[in-house]
Amino acid sequence: MTPIGSSAPVDGDSAKRGCPKIATIIFDVDDTLYDVGTGFTAHRNTDGATAFMVDKLHFHSKEEAQILRNEYFTKYHSTAKGLTMAEADGKLPPLPEGVTLPAGRENRFEPEELDEFWAQHLDFSLLGGPDPKCVEAFQIISKKMKIVGFSNGPRKYVTRVLKEIGLDYFFPTKQLFAVNDVLPYCKPDLGSFQLVLEKVDVLPEECIMVEDSMKNIRVAKSLGMKTILVVGKGRKRENRITEYLVRADDAEATKAGDIPDETDPAVDAVVEVASDVVLVLDGWGLL
């Protein structure tokens, strides 16, 4: 595993030796571009998801909704994909008496409805606004590399997050992929990665994947990408800070089985926050 700032054979000299030139960097969004300890992910995966399920899918209680959401998120790693599969499995509650679907509509759950609901109703103030260090880092990276976004969240929601943290400028529409764009796949499905790579028109060996999810890191590495794991502020092994760990653990509890592991062989470098990615790229000779 490559620590921050160390060199790796991925720069221009590598291209001269016949190795692919890495010129594309793909960022996850949630818990990667903002810190896992903000409380926003815990909010989205609990109150944000269950409020939608009670209001739009007619679950009887948030507690009932949370149980099903957690079960299907563990299987499918995306609320939108999970609810799609829950409906296919017949796990949604029946429509209340007198309630019918709009004319011409077959499915109870539509990812676009979750997208709209989250974009309008989540508490985005938890994100804390733009991080000047992160914006500066992206300004540096964008001068040398193509920046791509790849999220398991729905598009309007993802776009709202990027705007709230001041990074929307760096993710033009054609270089931003939400779960709507890759369904019926989603990360960590191999098909979702292949679809994004095809649309961006790059080879895996020409890309770096920046993620907080070990499942996604492993798939990216298996395809031939370089990988950077974002573990969260105060969570690197050498400087773990209790106040950050508690807040981050609340978020990780909603993403069972996907806690960052710095020792995994699929991890090429580790950072605490997205702004530190620029240090890794500089150490790899890419800037």
pLDDT tens-place string over residues 6-20: 434 455 444 444 567
pLDDT in tens, 191-204: 999 999 999 999 99
Structure confidence at residue 102 (pLDDT): 85
4 phi/psi in degrees, rounded to 5: -55, 135
Average pLDDT over residues 25-32: 97
Distances in whole angstroms, Cα of residue 143 to Cα of each of 132, 146, 204, 218, 286: 17, 8, 21, 28, 11
Contacts of 87 (CB under 8 A, 6+ apart): 107, 108, 109
Structure confidence at residue 253 (pLDDT): 55
Structure confidence at residue 255 (pLDDT): 58
Structure confidence at residue 141 (pLDDT): 98
User: pLDDT grade, residue 180 (50/70/90)?
Assistant: very high
pLDDT in tens, 265-278: 999 999 999 999 99
Residue 245 has pLDDT above 60, yes or no: no
Structure confidence at residue 2 (pLDDT): 45
Average pLDDT over residues 90-113: 91
Structure confidence at residue 223 (pLDDT): 97
What's the mean per-residue pLDDT of the chain? Answer: 89
Average pLDDT over residues 65-81: 94
Residue 5 has pLDDT above 80, yes or no: no
| Alpha carbons 150 and 199: distance in angstroms, whole number | 12
Structure confidence at residue 243 (pLDDT): 52
